[in-house]
Amino acid sequence: MPDNTFDAIVVGSGISGGWAAKELCEKGLKVLLLERGRDLVHIKDYADSNKPSWDYSHRGGRTQKMIEEYPVLKRDYPLNERNLDYWAKDSECPYTEIKRFDWYRGYHVGGRSLMWGRQSYRWSEFDFEANAKDGIAIDWPIRYNDIKDWYTYVEKFAGIQGSVENLPQLPDSHFLPAMELNVVEKDVAARIKKYYDNKRTLIIGRTAHITAKIPGRELCQYRDMCWNGCPFGGYFSTQSSTLPAAVATNNLKLRPFSIVTEIIYDKDTQKAKGVKVLDAETNQTYEYYSKIVFLCASSFNSAWVLMNSATNIWPDGLGSSSGELGHNVMDHHFRVGADGDVEGFDDKYYFGYRPTGFYIPRFRNLFGEKRDYIRGFGYQGSASRQGWSREVAELNIGAELKDALSEPGPWRIGATAFGEMLPYHENRIFLDKSKKDKWGLPVLAMDIEIKDNEKKMRVDMMNDMKEMLEVSGIKNIKTNDNLYAPGMGIHEMGTARMGKDKKTSVLNAHNQVWDCKNVFVTDGACMVSASCVNPSLTYMAMTARAANFAVSELKKKNL
Amino acid sequence: MDRRELLKMIALATGSVMIGGEVFLTGCNNPDKVFGSGVFTEDDIAFLDEVAETILPKTNTPGAKEAKTGEFMRVMVNDCYTKEDQQVFHNGIGQLNEACKKKHGHDFMKADPAQRKELLITLDKEAKETTEKKKQFDKEQNEKEKEELAKGNKYDKKLMASHYFTMMKQLTLLGYFTSKEGKTGALRYIPVPGKYDGNLDYKKGDKAFAGLN
């Protein structure tokens, strides 16, 4: 094969792209993996993964200069001194906010798989049926049974720790041994279970950390420094997991600094021939050719690539014939919950820094219950003893203060709800050609908001947590709503949704673009609804499923 | 990311949110473009070291001076504070010294440890009162802004300045308990725990584990 021609091209090297590359390589395809940012080599390039706090001049905080340079990133926790290099620079990659939208991006090999929250949950049958039952948007073209085995397949490789619970709304994964709830969380779990007669549960947060050996990786060491990159490979990332597997096949070529500007569409064959790449370092353009293209550039950027492609045939881009490309944007709305003081456990503490908390699975609008909104939410939280930053009212200055703050403080417990956001056609992104990024490329404009259903849900999201803490004997409970702007969940979804009908969806049931069957989109763009659980595990399963389908179609010469 | 940890990081033992980091909470715009305008002299650093040492003195564990907290304050004020807050801090050095002269009849640097402690207890009380007033004032301003925004009007809100001693105490605590001396001396520092035990027995006097982040 000439050196610009491959069997498959994968655009993006995050969670979805890493999986696409691994699967296609292992099935014998020659794969070109394109990443718009720099290379970031496992362990070697995790510059700060063992750096103690005192070696940061601002101890991890943010400077006025950082605030100046990162007008978007500064809106939430991602702007900090610890892993600043892992976040895309606002100044290089601007976008237009018709309405406020916080876009947190990772432009480097591995993408956001390095900084993700690692919470990993299966979707349930309820989630796949939801749109059809509620009569909103469009129905999913698949059901839980279509993806169930693919969940198992990716879980075995990625490594997901969690506890078996047999909950219909939150199917169990193929688990590694569960991390432990601490003594206070266990007590609260038991009280909640009893009070709500088993209808509500508090379980360990399921995460992609390994608690049992997986080849090539070391067990999680309970440092909770994941977001610097883990030198043990203790959590799933492209670097720790899928990339080494793809490399081991000798079928992979990884090309960093490769911004895919469009998919080359051949109108005679009605298929994609390959992609155009702008080298982010040299600004030179290249073309690469392949039989299939997997678009895994993250929900918004995958839509951006489609919008820029085949515009001589479809002015709004490849896959736009339904009028849904860029529409139906979803995220998870959150930052609302409650916390309070725990009494009676002063003789208990914990050892190690557990990189997860507890999870309270969805309980609203299930099993016949009907609220004044549809869908539901889950909670993520933890109980812990306060640290030195707590207020010690009676102690002001001196040795007594130092001694007191050197001991763990009182226990506290709290949780934040993550709620499902509905797909609204009018919540959309589109190209803003009047604004250009560092490379002269048009940027995205965001016009997205939460509506009544989400706002009504937030009332329960706050009050239900308060009630669960009350019935658990927690004192001085305070509710909070720290306000949510779309994007803050960093779970963008829906911009190229799947569907049964090409008139109302961008992709079919196998993630193929209806208008161009050798292009597959398997990242968050494909989602038809949002569920309330963290989505990454579903992208993994969806990608592995689509890759398997693509290769079988290639073998049948259907592509 | 560990979003569940987010709120824990903010409140400091001064009862005030982290100064300079307020954007962390609100995401509000910061119009200041002048950074590092204030100049700290060696005398200032030595002065701040003594203030910090009074707040967290050496006992059987290291004190704040040993953790170079004065130098830490210089870096934080220059890099992380707004211009207005920098001014409050710089003025505060003089004000603290004046307060000492008034109370004890001589400079803070000439005061003995007992006099210093007595003075800072007074200032701490004063600072806490200011923090309470500021909370109320800022809350009203934020509500006013919300109201005006809802009406479609622009509202240029003014927030009350923090007390300089709140700043000094915050930076002392932050600087000390994230320093090598504080983390390994005053707290228990375990860089690679390797396991988790959620039911560890604790008896009063056992030190806290220093967070790794």
**Rounded distance, CA A396 to CA B118, Å?**
11
- Is the pLDDT reported for residue A392 higher than 80? no
Q: Which of B78, B92, B98, B62 is nearest to B167 (CA)?
A: B92
User: What does the block give as tokens for A366?
Assistant: 């299930």
Q: What is the CA radius of gyration of chain A?
A: 23
Counting Cβ atoms within 10 Å, is residue B199 exposed (0-12), middle (13-18) or buried (19+)? middle
* pLDDT (0 to 100) of residue A44: 97
Q: What is the pLDDT of residues A325-352, one digit of tens each?
A: 999 999 999 999 999 999 999 999 999 9
Q: What is the pLDDT of residues A7-63, one digit of tens each?
A: 999 999 999 999 999 999 999 999 999 999 999 999 999 999 999 999 999 999 999
Residues 6+ apart with CB under 8 A from B34: B83
* pLDDT (0 to 100) of residue B153: 85
Chain B CB contacts of A227 below 8 Å: 1-2
The H-assigned helical ranges of B12-157 are 22-26, 42-55, 69-80, 83-104, 113-150
Domain spans, chain B: 3-210
Worst-scoring range by mean pLDDT, A18-27, A348-357, A367-376, B149-158? B149-158
* Predicted confidence band of residue A218 (pLDDT cuts 50, 70, 90): very high
Residues found in chain B: 213
Asked casually if ipTM beats, i.e. exceeds, 0.90, the reply is yes
Residue of chain B whose Cα is closest to the Cα of A67: B30
Worst-scoring range by mean pLDDT, A78-87, A196-205, A295-304, A550-559? A78-87
Q: Which of A465, A509, A462 is nearest to A482 (CA)?
A: A462
- Is the pLDDT reported for residue B149 higher than 90? no
Interface with B, mutate which of A389, A400, A413, A481 (most B CBs under 10 A): A389
Average pLDDT over residues A413-425: 97
User: What does the block give as tokens for A32?
Assistant: 């070109």
Q: What is the pLDDT of residues A56-109, one digit of tens each?
A: 999 999 999 999 999 999 998 889 998 999 999 999 999 999 999 999 999 999
- Is the pLDDT reported for residue B15 higher than 70? no
CB-CB under 8 Å, A224 with B213:
yes
CB-CB under 8 Å, A62 with B198:
no
Q: What is the pLDDT of residues A77-90, one digit of tens each?
A: 889 998 999 999 99
CB-CB under 8 Å, B209 with A351:
yes
Which B-chain residues 130-169 have CB contacts (< 8 A) with chain A?
Answer: none
* pLDDT (0 to 100) of residue A391: 79
Q: What is the pLDDT of residues B116-127, one digit of tens each?
A: 999 999 999 999
**Rounded distance, CA B142 to CA A329, Å?**
31
Residue A266: strand pairing partners: A271
Average pLDDT over residues A373-392: 94
Q: Which of A356, A337, A347, A366 is nearest to A482 (CA)?
A: A337
Write a three-state SS string for A267-288: CCCCEEEEEEEEECCCCCEEEE
Average pLDDT over residues A306-335: 97
* Predicted confidence band of residue A374 (pLDDT cuts 50, 70, 90): very high
Q: What is the CA radius of gyration of chain B?
A: 19
**Rounded distance, CA A35 to CA A39, Å?**
8
* pLDDT (0 to 100) of residue B156: 86
- Is the pLDDT reported for residue A371 higher than 90? yes
CB-CB under 8 Å, A59 with B14:
no
Q: What is the pLDDT of residues B17-54, one digit of tens each?
A: 677 754 333 333 333 333 344 689 999 999 999 999 99
Residue A278: strand pairing partners: A259, A285
% of chain A with per-residue pLDDT over 90: 96
Chain B CB contacts of A340 below 8 Å: none
User: What does the block give as tokens for B164?
Assistant: 């300089």
Which B-chain residues 10-69 have CB contacts (< 8 A) with chain A?
Answer: 11-15, 18, 20-21, 23-25, 27, 30, 32-33, 35, 54-57, 59, 61, 63
Strand ranges (E), A346-497: 348-351, 358-360, 377-385, 411-419, 428-436, 442-447, 475-481
Mean pLDDT of chain A: 97
* pLDDT (0 to 100) of residue B29: 34
**Rounded distance, CA A102 to CA A340, Å?**
29
Are A337 and A379 spatial neighbours (Cβ–Cβ below 8 Å)? yes
Task: Please count the other Cβ atoms lying within 10 Å of the Cβ belonging to residue A393.
Answer: 9
Chain A CB contacts of B1 below 8 Å: 77-78, 115-117, 227, 490
Are A233 and A217 spatial neighbours (Cβ–Cβ below 8 Å)? yes
**Rounded distance, CA A255 to CA A38, Å?**
9
Q: What is the pLDDT of residues A429-487, one digit of tens each?
A: 999 999 999 999 999 999 999 999 999 999 999 999 999 999 999 999 999 999 899 99
CB-CB under 8 Å, A54 with B120:
no
Q: What is the pLDDT of residues A122-151, one digit of tens each?
A: 999 999 999 999 999 999 999 999 999 999
Average pLDDT over residues A222-231: 95
Average pLDDT over residues A527-536: 98
Q: Which of A531, A98, A72, A170 is nearest to A332 (CA)?
A: A531
* pLDDT (0 to 100) of residue A77: 87
Q: Which of A499, A493, A495 is nearest to A511 (CA)?
A: A499
Q: Which of B7, B174, B192 sits opposite A223 (nearest CB)?
A: B192
* Predicted confidence band of residue B13 (pLDDT cuts 50, 70, 90): low
Residue type, B213: N
Interface with B, mutate which of A64, A72, A211 (most B CBs under 10 A): A64
Residues 6+ apart with CB under 8 A from A347: B201, B202, B203
CB-CB under 8 Å, A349 with B183:
no
Chain A CB contacts of B207 below 8 Å: 406-407
